[in-house]
Chain A
């Protein structure tokens, strides 16, 4: 049973485009929603996070949109760059556990 569903599995975007990664959850006990970025051979690192009482959060070129009633949230990357090519994971935090989505492999073409 996958508690956090993430799509798409892979995504190719031209430089300057706006990739969008979507996630959905079922457990209403989740109360913190981070996104992690992972480069090949490295561990994931926190990119941006949001709490359910906020509908949008921006940090630089990265934006999280959150729809509490639909139990969905998404990551947008503005003015994407080749250096943004990585695997992105959404996650949901409930009590002590962090549950991750299945990941999206993003490639930004020059």
Chain B
């Protein structure tokens, strides 16, 4: 089975721009979660989608949004980028029922200049 894939792997943007990251989960997985990882804050939960519906949401501003498509692929969008948005963005998929382990993609490294 193919693992979780994330595109692009690296991105460089400037302040004020917007960005869209993509995540393709493991085949058959219906839950996709997004995390922001920074040296200072560690892994912070952004949101989780299950069957195209946002099921959980972390404590991030509205500039961070996401969606999930019928094939379970997910996108995350960040508008009006700030320097502090520079981070590794990780996507994880799971079968979706509570307690199932999450399988992580390699991440997208976003640098905001």
Q: Are the chains A and B members of one assembly?
A: no
Binding site for A on B (CB under 8 A): none
Binding site for B on A (CB under 8 A): none
